[in-house]
Amino acid sequence: MNQTYAVAAVTAVVLATVLIGALGLRISRTTSDFYVASRTVRPGLNAAAISGEYLSAASFLGIAGLVLVQGPAMLWYPVGYTAGYLVLLVLVAAPLRRSGAYTLSDFAEARLESRRARRLASLFVVGIGWLYLLPQLQGAGLTLEILTGAPDWVGGLLVALVVTGTVAAGGMRSITFVQAFQYWLKLTALLVPALFLLAAWYGDGAPRARFDAPAVLREHTVVRVADTVRIGLDAPLTVTVTGRVDAVPYEHRTVTLAPGTHHVLAGTELAFAPGSVLPERAASGTDPLGWSQPLAGGHDGHQLYATYGLILATFLGTMGLPHVAVRFYTSPHGRAARRTTLVVLGLVGAFYLLPPLYGALGRIYAPELALTGSADAAVLVLPERILGGLAGDVLGALLAGGAFAAFLSTASGLTMSVAGVLTQDVLPSRGVRHFRLATLLATAVPLGVGVVASKVPVADAVGLAFAVSASSFCPLLVLGIWWRRLTPPGAMAGLLLGGGSALAAVMATRAGLAPEGWAHTLMAWPAVWSVPLGFLTMVLVSLATPGRIPPGTPALLARLHLPEEFTGSVPSQEVRR
């Protein structure tokens, strides 16, 4: 890939982000401006900002990569990311705005009148925020590595620096502009190349992507295996090997591998003749193929269970993501919050029509990415692969710019909310200067962890944050808004048991501690049992502690549900207009 164009595109996106951020710095004068954009953001602008913030590396790169490797079952990811906003809209949007809470911790404290509940909620906000930031920074590293060959920590560092700078300088107002801009940039960056790629694909005789059988390589392909893999063969395979296969060293030797499982050492190059069947990666106890694998595996109970695990996690997890909740605070009133969400659903849904196209085209034109473990790069390499020449370089550069917009926007929203919570509940004193210190802390931790943690597909890693959010904040928000008898002990027990068990289960799966079979599936997709566990714990413990119902509950619920004209937050003519 031509580095010059790609580097220019990434630089342009970074500069535009910094410039629009600097513009915000001049506008945001008061503390209220700084944190909440003075709540004057109109639905159109706010919806573009919410969508821009929400469409992360997982959406821009991850979905296409997963579809390439595992087929159309992975389309449940974008469906879930979208439907999560519908659930958020009907259960939470307007009341959350009317609660006046800026973060989920504010909501917990206002609703439960308990400092301890607030601190526990803060812990989960920071935890979920970091879980979500980690894949953004790793994705940035991967992108820059593919584009320029830079070491994989450079991209993450670049994103962390830009985000820390913009957020610390301008606060929420500048982010609103930056993110609205980045939504349209991301949409353009996926849409324009997609049109060219589809035209080229049509001109190529419109070959069909096959997901029910191993992919067939269309031309002579050299694959460099980045991490050691095990491959499974159904039929003998002839390849030219440089490196080690099954512990035997080869130097540009053509060998025929027998059917069965083979061990390919990291760094080995495999050269395939045109028409070869691409071997598929085989899972082993220590080398799981990724969290989402059971989704695509045969038509058995595991697959159905995993699909519902994903559906529950994404449908119910969206409302508890820290950067999503913060955004509702910027709507002027509850009705605007609802209408904003409706526009968001349209914008996000339109965007998600595109990544699956890249996944299908990747399966046809770059299937070997599945073997090298860099399927997340499919979106970036397709223009060069299908179009080549100047057009391929320019469109590839556009996609690289869009990918960076994705990392920057999601990472700034997460950093903003994590830093907000750190300022209020962790650092000793409050004020804009401490907020800037917290911003640094909010990005430094995931950056550090990202260097040592192993790589997993970005969409999978993001799914983990959704599962924890669905099991902790979803019960808290839904019961807090709709149920009068929720008590602080109940809420805290539910957060700990629901969110804690989901986190423990997925972490154990990641660490390879889960036994094979059903236990593995249950632990890799915890939402099916951890969400009901969270709800049940909150309800039962609350019912057991009726004396602890916060005295202000009726008044607070009235404020959450009454239109603003009754609670006096908005001049009544504004609402009845």
- Name residue 393's amino acid: D
Identify which of residues 412 and 423 has a Cβ nearer to another protein in the complex: 423
| Separation of CA 259 from chain center | 38
Q: Is the Cβ–Cβ distance between 278 and 368 less than 8 Å?
A: yes
Kindly state the smallest distance separating residue 508's Cβ from another protein, in Å: 25
Phi and psi, residue 163, nearest 5°: -65, -45
The CA distances from residue 562 to 41, 239, 319, 332, in Å, are 22, 69, 21, 15
Identify which of residues 61 and 237 has a Cβ nearer to another protein in the complex: 61
Identify which of residues 295 and 386 has a Cβ nearer to another protein in the complex: 295
Kindly state the smallest distance separating residue 110's Cβ from another protein, in Å: 4
Kindly state the smallest distance separating residue 138's Cβ from another protein, in Å: 26
Kindly state the smallest distance separating residue 223's Cβ from another protein, in Å: 26
Identify which of residues 153 and 482 has a Cβ nearer to another protein in the complex: 482
Identify which of residues 262 and 338 has a Cβ nearer to another protein in the complex: 338
Identify which of residues 92 and 497 has a Cβ nearer to another protein in the complex: 92
Q: Is the Cβ–Cβ distance between 96 and 366 less than 8 Å?
A: no
Identify which of residues 184 and 308 has a Cβ nearer to another protein in the complex: 308
Identify which of residues 111 and 323 has a Cβ nearer to another protein in the complex: 111
Identify which of residues 145 and 564 has a Cβ nearer to another protein in the complex: 564
Coil vs helix vs strand at 300 = coil
Which of 98, 41, 30, 31 has its CA nearest to residue 555? 98
Kindly state the smallest distance separating residue 247's Cβ from another protein, in Å: 39
| Separation of CA 535 from chain center | 24
Asked whether the CA dihedral 296, 297, 299, 304 is positive or negative, the reply is negative
What whole-number distance in Å separates Cα of residue 81 and Cα of residue 474? 15
Contacts with 565 (C-beta within 8 Å, 6 or more apart), sequence order: 572, 575, 576
- Encoded tokens for 70: 């595992």
Kindly state the smallest distance separating residue 101's Cβ from another protein, in Å: 9
Identify which of residues 14 and 123 has a Cβ nearer to another protein in the complex: 123
- Encoded tokens for 375: 């399927």
The CA distances from residue 233 to 257, 261, 268, 269, 375, in Å, are 8, 6, 17, 17, 20
What whole-number distance in Å separates Cα of residue 231 and Cα of residue 67? 19
Q: Is the Cβ–Cβ distance between 168 and 191 less than 8 Å?
A: no
Identify which of residues 262 and 548 has a Cβ nearer to another protein in the complex: 548
Q: Is the Cβ–Cβ distance between 142 and 374 less than 8 Å?
A: yes
Report strand pairing: 248-257 vs 269-272. Answer: unpaired
Q: Is the Cβ–Cβ distance between 278 and 367 less than 8 Å?
A: yes
- Name residue 500's amino acid: G
Kindly state the smallest distance separating residue 293's Cβ from another protein, in Å: 16
- Name residue 346's amino acid: G
Kindly state the smallest distance separating residue 345's Cβ from another protein, in Å: 5
Q: Is the Cβ–Cβ distance between 93 and 43 less than 8 Å?
A: no
Kindly state the smallest distance separating residue 248's Cβ from another protein, in Å: 39
Kindly state the smallest distance separating residue 332's Cβ from another protein, in Å: 5
Kindly state the smallest distance separating residue 354's Cβ from another protein, in Å: 10
- Encoded tokens for 317: 């997890």
